[in-house]
Amino acid sequence: MPLVLVHGVPESESIWDQLRHELDRDDVITLSPPGFGAPVPEGFEATSDGYLAWLVGVLEGMDGPIDLVGHDWGGGHVLRVAARRPDLIRSWCSDTAGITDPGYVWHDLAQAWQTPGVGEASIADMFGDSVEARTEGWVNLGADAEGARKLALAGTPAMGACILALYRSALQPKLTEWGIELDKAEHRPGLVINATEDVFVGGPDSAHLAARRFGAEEARLEGLGHWWMMQDPRRGAAALNRFYAHSLA
């Protein structure tokens, strides 16, 4: 019964390194989506549907049931698995559930990536800095020195191309539609991570309402932002540990 962690944009599996040490489990598996710390297979379509198919295919090859956890776009992929293939999982956890609110508006950087020309320039600027500068940026977001360098090295032209394709496949009302799909699905126990200072996923009220909407537990991480698992890995892991020990006992 593995615990599977899926990260997002523009990341690699290193974002989980500190959190893993605090989890009360020894069956943890990290998955890297194509382009985000893993090679991009020939012919792979880096759209939300493409990543959904990738994740479903990987999970189908695992002995389950699976406790599935996602961050950022990984959280989006997790919500879609919970909606489309609940038979593959025992539980789900996402820190992006608030994006399914019909009133959600993509953040400014996402809108830039979704705009032809503007997005390409933004990606060139993002990955144009030296590895040292990008490493420092990740340290400022909460990564330790080793993890920050791994995250910086994962930023490649292939990642940039995948970012653009992924965001351009998710123009509204796509996110609203995914929430409706989850409403109609056979529900599995869920946990919504509500990092109250996360400015990218709709805010704490949206996360709270999403937890109620989907019949999920809510872990409110007061004062933490988008990269909560690096900012305070002990508190983030404690929320997961409680969920698995009590809600799924």
Give the pLDDT confidence of 42-82 residue by residue, as tens digits: 999 999 999 999 999 999 999 988 999 999 999 999 999 99
What is the C-alpha end-to-end distance of the chain, expressed in Å?
Answer: 13
Average pLDDT for residues 30-44, to the nearest whole number?
A: 97
Q: What is the overall mean pLDDT for the chain?
A: 96
Cα separation, 145 vs 150, in Å, equals: 9
Cα separation, 88 vs 113, in Å, equals: 32
Cα separation, 228 vs 246, in Å, equals: 22
**Residue 102 pLDDT class (50, 70, 90 cuts):** very high
For the full predicted model, state whether its pTM sits above 0.95.
yes
User: Picking from 16-25, 34-43, 123-132, 231-240, which range would have the lowest pLDDT averaged per residue?
Assistant: 123-132
Query: Above pLDDT 70, what percent of the chain?
Result: 100
Question: What class does CATH assign to 3-106+171-247?
Answer: alpha beta
**Residue 248 pLDDT class (50, 70, 90 cuts):** confident
Residue 227: Cβ within 10 Å count: 20
Place of tokens 């020195």: 145
Contact 186, 238 (CB under 8 A): no
**Residue 1 pLDDT class (50, 70, 90 cuts):** confident
Beta strands in the chain (DSSP E): 3-6, 28-31, 66-70, 89-94, 190-195, 217-221
CA angle centred on 165, ends 146 and 98, rounded to 5°: 75
**Tens digits of residue pLDDT in 154-207:** 999 999 999 999 999 999 999 999 999 999 999 999 999 999 999 999 999 999
